[in-house]
A and B are shown apart, each in its own frame.
Chain A
């Protein structure tokens, strides 16, 4: 068997499915996807676990499948978390440089980051991520590494993502109960954007919208750093629910109709078109107006985009998204969704592909796996930062080599 230190596993407990992706990190640091396991999810609503027993079984099943496919034993995972309680905001930390020569040291940088992380959160909340954006030296913008520079005042902008501690804990405890270790929890929105965006796109500015089963996450990158993130506890489950209510059909049937006839717009051929729903024996039960179906869907999806677009405007980011909008998640499969999003956001919209990793291409092309793949990517980035280990030195050496080349 090979050393498992180069195996990175992402686990996403989603509202519609539970997904495990196994990645193998090569000596050069590149990652190949070598295994995939999934199972339908029945114990999750709006991205949060509501039936632990069911979910536990489903996680076991998905992990087992992935182990079989990749032929490895999974010991620890990077766990994706989301939910309506997860929020992101920007915070600035300040630190005066006190040394006699005014040279900024490593300690100053540590201090300023610590200051930026010291924020007023509600007592029950905890920080999931604190991502460094930019340093300011004496008010000068755009410093990425201030160590060695001269200045009197060092500031840093951080993007802090936080969530309800107990609810986050629930997911972690559940995974631990299946005899798996949790390496780290990762906000699924960040994971998706890691999978989708190239460094160029992050630099240009991009908005990633992950329309999942129960939640929609959005993350904004600009100048190569995360500028904004958030969760809207509305997903394609809501679309199905709207259809079930509006067309007066059971939820399972609504789900099927959505897949078969769904569209982000009312299409021309749908106008006035009736379809009859049949039961298992082929007997007609009732007829459904396709135009209504598509209108209900269109309204809901448009609303999701509108809320996010409004959020972008409020944050003043609308003009910074030069690479456009990227869609992923199972909900992005709806026909014509890019067109609808283009209309709302007034910019180019692309259905995202997980371009940043290699391996099973069939998996990479599915929008619903973006999060899990992104989790692997996140894990691989973290792995690279880990202290040197025997058997891992070659990868490290190349990393160090690169560093010196740059310097």
Chain B
């Protein structure tokens, strides 16, 4: 393997530029990696990781990691995430050394299959342990791909969320809002992949472009670190004199931002504007004012950069971190323990899924436990009757329990 030399990495680091490694995991990930424009991502290391030798053979990535053992017999993971996961655990040290020296690791994967869903969480953990910030860009399968893939994807997403610093997740199903009925399958996949890559490009530009208003690497870290959340992103462009207004309109109508609703719920928003030399302060102001109005509770980080090739195009990338939990010590502990168990047995999966459930519930671990005990509370004579739910509270459960009034 021709890994980048440590000297080069340190040179980049000295120049104030983060060392970025981009991992394409699984079939979809490798294809997406191939679709990335090398020249645009100059300075980044590309690594393809897969269990399927055929997919790696066509990949142009300079570094390829083929995860293989006898069990797979050269046939790939066969769509089984557990297998992908087991083999990744086995080769944990390889993955970790591949991440060495990187400040930022991007993981690109399509979830639902064997390799992408199985390896990505392990890779995220390996990168994290190697000291890098881990951003995962993942796609969820279409609804029509079936239950099993959806389940695997969901489970994997939860695991990635607990291992990576930030997850940018694109549910493919949302694409239907963007395409019309007659779009061909190939085109659909291209659009889906394109959206994900746009998100990556947005982050990349943030990190590398010399900005008028610079977004520092540390800002991005602050946004994604300790915030274990699902991020939503949008990338919009507009050309011409009314471009600022147009961009704002597009943001507010963007399907991936749920027509702006996501912004209202998010607690941190990163906005990056890129345009040609003629980018005016008034335009920046106009866009930011609208964004600010949308996200009342959010901490906003903004950046503006000049791209000489952009001419009169204004592009805005928005990453919104939804209200998430602060990553607690306790929490990482559990995750590591659960995912360290070499052959994933049922108990470990249950444990990790309970952790992820706690994440989704947006509640610190401690509270979740007390809540678990609450659900065991017998509702006495109302046990079998239809529950009386009022504003999400089950009124059949004694009031003093729900309000946490102690009786002793």
Residues of A within 8 A of B (CB): 45-46, 50, 84, 232-234, 237-238, 241-242, 244-246, 251, 289, 292, 295-296, 299-300, 302-303, 307
In the bound complex, how far is the Cα of B352 from the Cα of A296, in angstroms? 37
A46 contacts which chain B residues (CB < 8 A)?
Answer: 382, 385-386, 388
- Please name 8 further chain A to chain B contacts, defined as beta carbons within 8 Å, in addition to the given A84-B386, A296-B400, A307-B390, sorted by A numbering: A46-B386, A84-B388, A232-B388, A238-B398, A241-B396, A245-B401, A246-B398, A251-B380
Say which residue of A45, A296, A302, A303 sits within 8 Å of B407 (CB atoms).
A296
Query: Are A299 and B399 neighbours in the complex by a CB distance under 8 Å?
Result: yes
Query: Are A237 and B381 neighbours in the complex by a CB distance under 8 Å?
Result: yes
Q: Inter-chain contact count A-B, CB under 8 Å?
A: 66
A267 to chain B, nearest CB (A): 17
B386 contacts which chain A residues (CB < 8 A)?
Answer: 46, 84, 233
14 residue pairs A–B, Cβ–Cβ below 8 Å = A50-B385, A233-B395, A234-B388, A238-B395, A238-B398, A241-B379, A241-B380, A241-B396, A242-B398, A245-B378, A292-B407, A295-B400, A300-B400, A307-B390
In the bound complex, how far is the Cα of B118 from the Cα of A282, in angstroms? 66
Say which residue of B378, B385, B399 sits within 8 Å of A242 (CB atoms).
B399
In the bound complex, how far is the Cα of B379 from the Cα of A307, in angstroms? 20
B380 contacts which chain A residues (CB < 8 A)?
Answer: 241, 244-245, 251
A-B CB proximity, top 8 nearest: A242-B398, A233-B388, A241-B380, A299-B399, A300-B399, A292-B407, A45-B385, A303-B399
A291: nearest chain-B partner, CB-CB:
B407
B396 contacts which chain A residues (CB < 8 A)?
Answer: 234, 238, 241
Query: Are B395 and A251 neighbours in the complex by a CB distance under 8 Å?
Result: no
Q: At the interface, yes or no: B377 with Cβ under 8 Å from chain A? A: yes
A307: nearest chain-B partner, CB-CB:
B390
Query: Are B377 and A245 neighbours in the complex by a CB distance under 8 Å?
Result: yes
Say which residue of A234, A246, A289, A302 sits within 8 Å of B395 (CB atoms).
A234
A84 contacts which chain B residues (CB < 8 A)?
Answer: 386, 388
Query: Are B398 and A296 neighbours in the complex by a CB distance under 8 Å?
Result: yes
B340 to chain A, nearest CB (A): 40
Query: Are A241 and B381 neighbours in the complex by a CB distance under 8 Å?
Result: yes
0 or 1 for each of B354-395: is its CB under 8 Å from A? (1 = yes): 000000000000000000000001111110011010100001
Query: Are A246 and B381 neighbours in the complex by a CB distance under 8 Å?
Result: no
Query: Are B390 and A232 neighbours in the complex by a CB distance under 8 Å?
Result: yes
A45 contacts which chain B residues (CB < 8 A)?
Answer: 381-382, 385
A234 contacts which chain B residues (CB < 8 A)?
Answer: 388, 395-396
In the bound complex, how far is the Cα of B379 from the Cα of A251, in angstroms? 12
In the bound complex, how far is the Cα of B405 from the Cα of A233, in angstroms? 23
Query: Are B400 and A242 neighbours in the complex by a CB distance under 8 Å?
Result: yes
A50 contacts which chain B residues (CB < 8 A)?
Answer: 385
Using A46-B388, A84-B388, A232-B390 as known contacts, say yes or no to A299 and B405 having CB atoms under 8 A apart: yes
B377 to chain A, nearest CB (A): 7
The SS class assigned to the B binding surface is loop
In the bound complex, how far is the Cα of B400 from the Cα of A241, in angstroms? 12
In the bound complex, how far is the Cα of B400 from the Cα of A289, in angstroms? 15
B382 contacts which chain A residues (CB < 8 A)?
Answer: 45-46, 237-238, 241
Say which residue of B390, B398, B403 sits within 8 Å of A241 (CB atoms).
B398
Query: Are A299 and B400 neighbours in the complex by a CB distance under 8 Å?
Result: yes
In the bound complex, how far is the Cα of B377 from the Cα of A147, in angstroms? 60
Residue from the set A45, A241, A246 with the largest chain B CB neighbour count within 10 Å: A241
Residue from the set A45, A232, A245 with the largest chain B CB neighbour count within 10 Å: A245
In the bound complex, how far is the Cα of B258 from the Cα of A15, in angstroms? 46
In the bound complex, how far is the Cα of B380 from the Cα of A46, in angstroms? 13
In the bound complex, how far is the Cα of B381 from the Cα of A46, in angstroms? 10
Residue from the set B381, B399, B405, B407 with the largest chain A CB neighbour count within 10 Å: B399
Say which residue of B378, B385, B390, B407 sits within 8 Å of A246 (CB atoms).
B407
In the bound complex, how far is the Cα of B407 from the Cα of A289, in angstroms? 9
Query: Are A245 and B398 neighbours in the complex by a CB distance under 8 Å?
Result: yes
B356 to chain A, nearest CB (A): 31
Using A46-B382, A251-B380, A251-B381 as known contacts, say yes or no to A246 and B388 having CB atoms under 8 A apart: no
B399 to chain A, nearest CB (A): 4
B379: nearest chain-A partner, CB-CB:
A241
In the bound complex, how far is the Cα of B393 from the Cα of A238, in angstroms? 14
A295 contacts which chain B residues (CB < 8 A)?
Answer: 400, 405, 407
In the bound complex, how far is the Cα of B207 from the Cα of A369, in angstroms? 74
B398 to chain A, nearest CB (A): 4
In the bound complex, how far is the Cα of B395 from the Cα of A292, in angstroms? 19
B26 to chain A, nearest CB (A): 45
A43 to chain B, nearest CB (A): 12
In the bound complex, how far is the Cα of B407 from the Cα of A90, in angstroms? 43
In the bound complex, how far is the Cα of B378 from the Cα of A35, in angstroms? 41
B401 contacts which chain A residues (CB < 8 A)?
Answer: 245-246
B41 to chain A, nearest CB (A): 53
In the bound complex, how far is the Cα of B381 from the Cα of A59, in angstroms? 22
A296: nearest chain-B partner, CB-CB:
B400
In the bound complex, how far is the Cα of B402 from the Cα of A296, in angstroms? 11
In the bound complex, how far is the Cα of B402 from the Cα of A299, in angstroms? 10
In the bound complex, how far is the Cα of B136 from the Cα of A268, in angstroms? 61
In the bound complex, how far is the Cα of B378 from the Cα of A234, in angstroms? 16
In the bound complex, how far is the Cα of B403 from the Cα of A241, in angstroms? 16
A238 contacts which chain B residues (CB < 8 A)?
Answer: 382, 395-396, 398
In the bound complex, how far is the Cα of B380 from the Cα of A296, in angstroms? 15
A163 to chain B, nearest CB (A): 14
In the bound complex, how far is the Cα of B385 from the Cα of A46, in angstroms? 8
Using A244-B380, A246-B398 as known contacts, say yes or no to A299 and B403 having CB atoms under 8 A apart: yes
In the bound complex, how far is the Cα of B395 from the Cα of A46, in angstroms? 12
B398 contacts which chain A residues (CB < 8 A)?
Answer: 238, 241-242, 245-246, 296, 300
B400 contacts which chain A residues (CB < 8 A)?
Answer: 242, 246, 295-296, 299-300
In the bound complex, how far is the Cα of B405 from the Cα of A238, in angstroms? 17
In the bound complex, how far is the Cα of B401 from the Cα of A244, in angstroms? 13
A231: nearest chain-B partner, CB-CB:
B388
In the bound complex, how far is the Cα of B401 from the Cα of A15, in angstroms? 24
A237: nearest chain-B partner, CB-CB:
B381
B385 contacts which chain A residues (CB < 8 A)?
Answer: 45-46, 50
A292 contacts which chain B residues (CB < 8 A)?
Answer: 407
In the bound complex, how far is the Cα of B405 from the Cα of A246, in angstroms? 11
A233 contacts which chain B residues (CB < 8 A)?
Answer: 386, 388, 395
0 or 1 for each of B247-273: is its CB under 8 Å from A? (1 = yes): 000000000000000000000000000
B85 to chain A, nearest CB (A): 43
A258 to chain B, nearest CB (A): 13
0 or 1 for each of B231-259: is its CB under 8 Å from A? (1 = yes): 00000000000000000000000000000
In the bound complex, how far is the Cα of B388 from the Cα of A303, in angstroms? 14
